Amino acid sequence: MSAGAAESSPPVVSVQQLVVTAKKKQPILRGISLDFPARSLTAVVGPSGCGKTTFVRSLNRMVELTPGLKVEGVVNYLGQNIYDPRVNPVLVRRRIGMVFQRPTVFPMSVFENAAFGLRLIHEAEDEIDAAVEEALQRAGLWDEVRDDLNRPALALSGGQQQRLCIARALAVRPRVLLMDEPTSALDPAATQRVEATMQRLKEEIVIVLVTHNVGQAARVSDRTAFLHSGHLVELGPTADILERPRDPLTQQFITGRFE
Amino acid sequence: MEQTPAPQDPEGREPLPPPSSSGPSAPAGAPRTRPPILRTVGRIVPFIPALVPAAIVAAIVYSLLHAAGFSIALHNWRTWQISLPTNFGWEFFGSNWNPPYSWGIAVFVVGSFLTAVPALLFSMLIGLGIAIASVAYLPRLVTRFLDPFVDLLAGIPSVIYGIWGYLVIAPYFGTVLNPYLYEHLRFVPGLGGTMPPSSGLGLPVGIFLLTLMALPITTLLIRDSLRSVPRDLWESGLALGATRWEAMRRISIPHAKGGIVSAGFLGFGRAFGETVAIAMVLNLVAVYPTNFYGGTATIAAEMFSILDSAYGNSQFLAALSEMALILVVISLAVNVVGRLFISRLSATEIAGL
Amino acid sequence: MVPTPSADAPLGTPIAAPVPALAAQDVLFDRSARTTWRLGFDRWAGWLLPLLFLVAILPILDLVWYISKTAIPTLTWEILTSFNYRTVDALGVPIVSTVEVLALSTAFAVLLGVFGGIATAEFLSDRSAGWVRVSANMLAGTPSVVLGYFGFFTFCIYAGWGYVMMAGVLTLAFFMTPYIFRIADLAYTSIPRPIREAAYGSGTRPHQYIVKVATPIAFPQVLNGIFLAMAIGLGETAPIVLTTTGSKILPPNLFAPVTYMTALIWADFSSPSGSGGYDVALQCAFLLVVAVVGLNILVRVISARYRKRLEGLYQ
């Protein structure tokens, strides 16, 4: 998982000149271009308001849910532009999953939560059982819930709920997982377990992690992208960015002068 | 009242006024005190206006009971006489309404349900559809304009619905819709039988109007409870690859169950208690309708139209009052139960319901 | 190309199995039967469901259009202002009578409702307030016919007034009360906590708080509620019809017959068809629709403005 080995295969997601503007021509993202190689975890960091959430939501067309935003540019998933008018966003989102800031478990049982995406595509019952178990294992939650999969998901602790959300997203076998500050609502112990899950998952899929916690980026990510005011200021292996930042803005951020 | 001594400022200045609680309290700090009787009165008086609605409801119920023959007479301290409401016997619940001979109100009860239930079903279905369209499918710009339009339906007075129904809808039903149904769907039970009257008055128009009148209520309640589903939850569903319909059906609607149930109860209450419009278009006769096109009578409409002829006849009035009591009980039950499921709603709109 | 896991592999396949490169191409342009059905259904719903709006909107447009088109040509300024009771079509009397009745009823309803609402918001414990609010909901939920019966028995018969204006005024007032009550309650309850606590914390006594602090904030909402109650009262028929008789002249005193416009429509409708069409009824209907819709729009506009204003205060 060094940056070198991943670079040799074509990127799973390739962003080219992504521009997002709000009402009244206010720019939120100004021409961002970067690639996400297979089996990597890229941290997206930056001061608040820099556009990192908007960026990540542009990767699975969730940005369209906010009224008034205009998206220009190309986001290629395995060579196909997800913003192609012929592509239905519903299909994009199955391939590129998302985990939100707060755990958003549905008011159903643990099993039904994990099986949600699978039921939409109407998989057979026994396949759903197998897939749910696999997803819960990959999310690192299986051992804690295996004894009673029918208990209500809301009865789980915050950290468990968030891992359930991760399992839920993984159940439909996406190749990319977008995570928007997934641990900011969790206590340190739960955070650590989620980070452990992330480290295991990055060997299998592409993870894009938005975080405001530079320490977290240091712990789990291979490469880091630093955003500022809608620009991609710097991109590179995490160790390089954190220890030898080239751009003064990056340096200011790392050393805490922004936040 | 204030048993504890007023807290003293440590530097020995004027004693601080005792902290006010949310209720009338003794005068703050000043040496004058009110005579105890006034203080007690002063405590009770502010609560009295709050009892007004309860008092009115009690007065309503009592006046109806009284008209029905119930009264308590105190002759002296020890003897009192209770007259019960006029007992019409079991036939009160029978089907033979023929004042001043027999008082079977079953026709009206059945009629009320016969008009209100279909109206409720239609208004719930349509209201659900409109609410889903408004929350999930239409852009905010459009819904900001269309939603109030639907809510406006609630403001139209029922007389006006009645007169429009009588002059416009009924003739249309009578000359176009009913004959069509009669011709082509005669085999369906209820759509055959006797020819529908060309005036068009009867159940179809009645149900149509009731649906329109219950619609703003159901739409508002369902829409509001769908809107209150947390944004994150909805987006999580979409992020898993669900279509808007699927997210609605599997996430939002289950979350909004309470509001939907409320909509059902309150919409039914509206349709059940509707009086004037029904009286104008239903072709009021105290018989069971023979088929879908016939006229019948409802509790409210009959109460409204027949009171004049009952003037002076205390037995007639008693029967009507007992009918009124049944209407009150059903309306109140439906209303109170319906409101149990409402959790959080926007103020003015619901206050208007 | 380095084999990469395919998202389309059948679920039984472990994730690291190599898969032909073409699978990737299918990914975004997947047209499996199930998917086509799902997307198609969603698209259909996106067309059909909004069309249901028409079910609600077309009738109301037709209603307004029909009444306007039938009534406006027959309305002349003279008809609107004539108080000549010999002319059957003169609307001056009904209009003024209606305004008088509505004004009086509103006044009574405000007296009964506002103080009760404030008392519930300020003085009652949560438990008692809960019960009081239930009673207000019960009153609001009783059909107007029942209120009419109550008024008939209480005022016309027991009080011995007969079918007079005062009976109608009071009955209508009782009907309007819970709406004002509820909105007053809501208005005072929804005053932002920081303001309330600041006032009481600095030693303000309850009646001072209510008059000087709460009322200026709650006033627009209460006023709005009054307009709402007026719109409701304007459209009611049963409370008036059951307690009053119509009259061709303005009521000389409170205990005389009076004509209310909704009652007039009902009377015109139920009178034998020799009356030559429903001209009067439709004219009254038109005026009522204008007034009621106007009031409703006013209520919404104030409501929207007020919400914006409140958001500035400690929201």
What digits encode the pLDDT tens for the residues B186-224? 777 777 777 777 788 889 999 999 999 999 999 999 999
- Tell me if the bond preceding B18 is cis, omega within 30° of 0: no
Residues 6+ apart with CB under 8 A from A85: none
Report pLDDT for A126.
87
pLDDT at C11: 43
* pTM higher than 0.80: yes
In a domain, A11, yes or no: no
Q: Which residue in the block uniquely carries the two structure tokens 């009907």?
A: C175
Residues above pLDDT 70, as percent of chain B? 80
The mean per-residue pLDDT over the stretch C99-105 comes to 95
Is C289 in Cβ contact with B64 (below 8 Å)?
Answer: no
Asked which of A70-74, A249-253, B28-32 is least confident by mean pLDDT, the reply is: B28-32
Strand partners, B103: B97
Q: List chains adjacent to chain C, taking adjacency as at least 3 C-beta pairs closer than 8 Å.
A: A, B
Per-residue pLDDT reduced to its tens digit, B49-103: 999 999 999 999 999 988 887 776 666 666 666 666 666 666 677 777 777 677 7
pLDDT at C61: 94
Would the pLDDT of C14 be above 50? no
Residue A109 lies in a domain: yes
Report the C-alpha gap between B202 and C237 in whole angstroms.
21
Question: Which parts of chain A fold into alpha helices (H)?
Answer: 3-7, 52-58, 89-95, 110-120, 125-138, 142-145, 158-170, 188-201, 214-220, 238-243, 248-254
Q: Does C59 map to a domain?
A: no
Residue A32, H or E segment: strand A27-36
Distance of CA C113 to the CA centre of its chain: 16
Using CA atoms, how far apart are residues A123 and B163, in angstroms rounded to an integer?
56
- Tell me which residue in B230, B236, B246 faces A120 most closely, judged by beta carbons: B246
- Measured CA to CA, the distance from residue B345 to residue B343 in angstroms comes to 7
Return left, alpha or beta for A76; rule: phi > 0 is left, psi -120 to 50 is alpha, else beta.
beta
Is residue A62 within 8 angstroms of chain B, CB to CB? yes
Count up the domains in chain C and report the number.
1
Domains of chain B: 109-351 (1.10.3720.10)
Confidence class for position C309, pLDDT limits 50, 70, 90: low
The predicted model gives B125-137 an average pLDDT of 95
pLDDT band at B270 (very low <50, low <70, confident <90, very high): very high
Asked whether the predicted pLDDT for residue C242 surpasses 90, the reply is yes
Q: Distance between CA atoms of B345 and C301, rounded to whole angstroms?
A: 18
Higher pLDDT, residue A205 or C14? A205
Residue C282 in domain: yes
Question: What pLDDT does residue B9 have?
Answer: 44
What does the block give as tokens for A132?
Answer: 């749910």
> Which residue of A lies nearest to C42 if distances are taken between CA atoms?
A90
Q: What is the pLDDT of residues C124-162, one digit of tens each?
A: 888 888 899 999 999 999 999 999 999 999 999 888 898
**Predicted pLDDT at C4:** 41
pLDDT for residue B77: 67
Residue C78 has pLDDT above 80, yes or no: no
Alpha-carbon distances, residue C122 vs C139, C188, C207 (angstroms)? 21, 8, 10
Residues of C in contact with B155 (CB under 8 A): 231, 235, 292-293, 295-296
A204 and C5 within 8 Å at the Cβ level: the answer is yes
Number of domains into which chain A is organized: 1
**Residue A194: CATH number of its domain:** 3.40.50.300
Q: What is the pLDDT of residue C304?
A: 82
Which chain C residues have a beta carbon less than 8 Å from that of B129? 48-49, 52
Q: Alpha-carbon distance B321 to C40, whole Å?
A: 56
Residue C17 distance to chain B (closest CA, Å): 24
Q: How far is CA C113 from CA A168, B332, C65, C187, in A?
A: 53, 20, 36, 13
C-alpha distances in Å from residue B133, one per residue of B173, C46, C47: 29, 7, 9
Q: In chain C, which residues have their Cβ closer than 8 Å to the Cβ of A95?
A: 7, 27-28
The DSSP 8-state label assigned to residue B49 in this structure reads G
Residues 6 or more apart whose Cβ sits within 8 Å of residue B98: B286
Which amino acid type is present at position B131? Answer: A
pLDDT-derived band at B125, boundaries 50, 70, 90: very high
Helix segments in chain B, DSSP class H: 36-44, 52-67, 106-132, 140-152, 158-164, 170-172, 178-184, 203-227, 231-239, 244-247, 253-255, 257-273, 276-281, 299-310, 314-340, 347-351
Other Cβ atoms closer than 10 A to B313: 13
Position B32 scores a pLDDT of 59
Residues B156, C119: C-beta atoms closer than 8 Å:
no
**Which tens digit of pLDDT belongs to each residue from B272-304?**
999 999 999 998 888 888 888 888 889 999 999
Nearest residue of chain B to residue A89 (CA atoms): B241
Q: Are B278 and B210 in contact (CB under 8 A)?
A: yes
C137 closest CA partner among C96, C94, C181, C188: C181
The pLDDT of residue A106 is: 94
Strand B80-83 versus strand B71-74 pairing type? antiparallel
Tell me if A230 sits within 8 A of A27, measured CB to CB.
yes
Q: Is the pLDDT of residue B342 over 80?
A: no
CA distances from B196 to A215, A221, B178 (A): 80, 77, 6
* Angle of the B257-273 helix axis to the B314-340 helix axis, nearest 10: 170
Look at residue B344 in the predicted model and tell me its pLDDT.
52
Contact B288, B169 (CB under 8 A): no
Q: Give the pLDDT of residue B271.
A: 95
* Residue A112 belongs to a domain: yes
Check residue A125 and report its DSSP letter.
H
- How does pLDDT run across A148-197, given as a tens digit for each residue? 889 999 999 989 999 999 999 999 889 899 999 999 989 999 999 999 99
- C218 occurs within a structural domain: yes
The pLDDT-based confidence of C53 (bands split at 50, 70, 90) is very high
With contacts defined as CB-CB under 8 Å, which chain B residues touch C178?
A: 53
* Residues making up chain A, counted from first to last: 259
Using a CB-CB cut-off of 8 Å, the residues of chain B touching A100 are 232, 235-236, 239
Query: Comparing B218-222, B341-345, C116-120, which segment has the lowest mean pLDDT?
Result: B341-345
What are the backbone dihedrals phi and psi of residue A233, each rounded to the nearest 5 degrees, phi first? -85, -45
For chain C, give the mean pLDDT.
83
What per-residue string of b and e applies to C91-110 under the rule 16 or more CB within 10 Å gives b? bbbbbebbebbbebbbebbb
CA separation for the pair C254, C105 (Å, rounded): 12
Give me the domain span that covers residue C77: 73-312
Query: How many angstroms separate the CA atoms of C7 and C1, rounded?
Result: 17
Report yes or no on A80 lying in a domain.
no
Average pLDDT, integer, range C167-187: 94
Lowest mean pLDDT among B246-260, C78-92, C239-253, C299-313: C78-92
User: Structural domain of residue A123, as residue ranges?
Assistant: 38-61+85-254
**Which of A40, A129, A175, A204 to substitute to test the interface with C, most C CBs within 10 Å?**
A175
Q: How many residues does chain B have?
A: 353
**Chains with ≥3 Cβ pairs under 8 A against B?**
A, C
Q: C23 pLDDT exceeds 70? A: no
Task: Tell me which residue has tokens 């007479």.
Answer: B73
Residue of A nearest to C34 (CA): A121
Chain C residue with Cα closest to B309: C242
- Residue B165: the pLDDT is 94
The predicted model gives C53-58 an average pLDDT of 92
Tell me the C-alpha distance between B223 and B136, whole Å. Answer: 10
What is the separation of C-alpha B352 from the centre of its chain, rounded to a whole number of angstroms? 12
Euclidean distance between CA atoms A214 and B8, whole angstroms = 54
Beta bridge partners of A14: A35, A76
Cβ atoms of residues A37 and A62 within 8 Å = no
- A124 in a structural domain: yes
pLDDT of residue C251: 84
Tell me the nearest-neighbour CA distance from B74 into chain A, angstroms: 60
Q: What is the 3-state secondary structure (H, E, C) of chain C?
A: CCCCCCCCCCCCCCCCCCCCCHHHHHCCCCCCHHHHHHHHHHHHHHHHHHHHHHHHHHHHHHHHHHHHHHHHHHCCHHHHHCCCCCCCCCCHHHHHHHHHHHHHHHHHHHHHHHHHHHHHHHCCCHHHHHHHHHHHHHHHHCCHHHHHHHHHHHHHHHCCCCCCHHHHHHHHHHHHHHHHHHHHHHHHHCCCHHHHHHHHHCCCCHHHHHHHHHHHHHHHHHHHHHHHHHHHHHCCCHHHHCCCCCCCCCCCCCCCCCCCHHHHHHHHHHCCHHHCCCHHHHHHHHHHHHHHHHHHHHHHHHHHHHHHHHHHCCC
* A245–chain C nearest CA distance, Å: 32
- Alpha-carbon distance C68 to C54, whole Å? 20
CB pairs < 8 Å spanning B and C: 281
pLDDT for C195 beyond 50: yes
Determine the pLDDT at residue B353. 58
- CATH number of the domain within which C261 lies: 1.10.3720.10
- CA C30 – CA B203 distance, rounded (Å): 51
A3 is a domain residue: no
Which of A64, A87, A104 to probe by mutation at the B interface, max B CB count within 10 Å?
A104
Cβ of C285 within 8 Å of Cβ of B46? The answer is no
Tokens of B320: 């009507």
Beta-bridged to residue A74, according to DSSP, are A16
d(CA A81, CA C15) in angstroms, rounded, equals 24
Q: For position B252, what pLDDT does the model report?
A: 94
Domain annotation covers residue A189: yes
How many angstroms away from the CA of B148 is the closest CA of chain A? 21
Instruction: Let me know: does B326 contact B107? Beta carbons within 8 Å.
Output: no
Say what the pLDDT of residue B105 is: 83
Average pLDDT estimate for A63-85 = 88
Examine residue C47 and state whether it is found in any structural domain, yes or no: no
* Predicted pLDDT at B15: 46
Which residue from B215, B304, B351 is facing C182, i.e. has the nearest CB? B351
Please give the backbone phi and psi of residue B82, each rounded to the nearest 5 degrees, phi first.
Answer: -110, 125
CB contact under 8 A, A90 and B250: no
| Residues C265-306 pLDDT 10s | 998 888 755 455 678 888 889 999 999 999 999 998 888 887
pLDDT in tens, A24-46: 888 889 889 999 998 899 999 98
φ, ψ of residue A208 in degrees (nearest 5): -115, 115
Question: Is a pLDDT exceeding 50 seen at residue C12?
Answer: no
Determine the pLDDT at residue C290: 94
Task: Report yes or no: A201 and A140 within 8 Å, Cβ to Cβ.
Answer: no
3-state SS, C1-70, equals CCCCCCCCCCCCCCCCCCCCCHHHHHCCCCCCHHHHHHHHHHHHHHHHHHHHHHHHHHHHHHHHHHHHHH
Q: From CA B1, how far away is CA B24, in angstroms rounded?
A: 10
Q: What is the pLDDT of residues B297-338, one digit of tens each?
A: 899 999 999 888 888 778 888 888 889 999 999 999 999 898
Residue of chain A nearest C15, judged by CA positions: A204
Q: Are A172 and B242 an interchain contact pair (Cβ–Cβ within 8 Å)? A: no
